[in-house]
Amino acid sequence: MRAGLFAALACSLIVAVVPTRAAAQGFSDEPVGFSRIVSVNPVLLVVRGSLAADIEQRVGPSVTLGASFANFNFSNADYLTLEGRARYYVSGRALDGIAVGTVLGFVRLSENADDGENSVGMNLGFTGERQWLLGAEERVAVTAGAGATRIFFAEDRPAFRSVLPILRLSVGWGF
């Protein structure tokens, strides 16, 4: 639970501290100079030793498609996720700014019990995110966001294992 609180606090701090391009340089409707971003969650990696990685590809002026992989522990269970993601950037400048999105994927849940029971399910969720492109060439991407996902298991599971929060803080590179 501390890791979740720490991630939420870190996301809030980044949103408050990192200036937006609109405030610093004026709004730009030019498309981003590259078409994809690969990113990782450094907080999860350093604090928990868990990996969360994303790739995002621009497919239109304000739409991106992507994939993500995550391996984390939540509520005494290990989760392994592989998801597809779609994001709509409200500014019309894909890969930069505020985005709303959907998540669809597969989840493997491993109970931290003696029986070592595993479950597989599909998940469906939503996110709201803010992505900043930083640096002279705007190649460094910093993303903060939140949302929720519901996991649909074939067998019955307690409710707290079927709905998960999505907290995203990632740093990436555009190319």
Q: Is the pLDDT of residue 159 over 80?
A: no
Buried b (16+ CB within 10 A) or exposed e, 119-144: bebebebebebbbbbeeeebbbbbbb
- In eight-state DSSP terms, residue 138 is T
25-29, 110-114, 161-165: which is most confident = 161-165
Higher-pLDDT residue of 24 and 124 is: 124
Nearest CA to 58 out of 40, 86, 36, 38 is that of: 36
The residue extents of the domains of the chain are 2-23+33-174
d(CA 21, CA 39): 20
d(CA 172, CA 39): 4
Nearest CA to 122 out of 149, 147, 158 is that of: 149
This prediction's pTM: 0.78
Report the pLDDT value the prediction gives residue 126, as an integer from 0 to 100: 97
Q: What is the CATH number of domain 2-23+33-174?
A: 2.40.160.20
pLDDT tier for residue 161 given thresholds of 50, 70 and 90? low
Report the pLDDT value the prediction gives residue 98, as an integer from 0 to 100: 98
Q: Is the pLDDT of residue 79 over 90?
A: no
Report the pLDDT value the prediction gives residue 175, as an integer from 0 to 100: 94
Report the pLDDT value the prediction gives residue 68, as an integer from 0 to 100: 96
Nearest CA to 96 out of 12, 164, 28 is that of: 28
Dump pLDDT digits (tens) for 9-26: 444 444 444 444 444 444
Q: What percent of the chain has pLDDT over 70?
A: 77
Task: Retrieve residue 8's tokens.
Answer: 């939420």
The burial of 73, by beta-carbon neighbours within 10 Å (0-12 exposed, 13-18 middle, 19 or more buried), is given as middle
Report the pLDDT value the prediction gives residue 128, as an integer from 0 to 100: 98
Residue by residue, DSSP assigns 21-48 as HHHHH----SPPSSSEEEEE-HHIIIII
- In eight-state DSSP terms, residue 57 is E
Q: What percent of the chain has pLDDT over 90?
A: 54
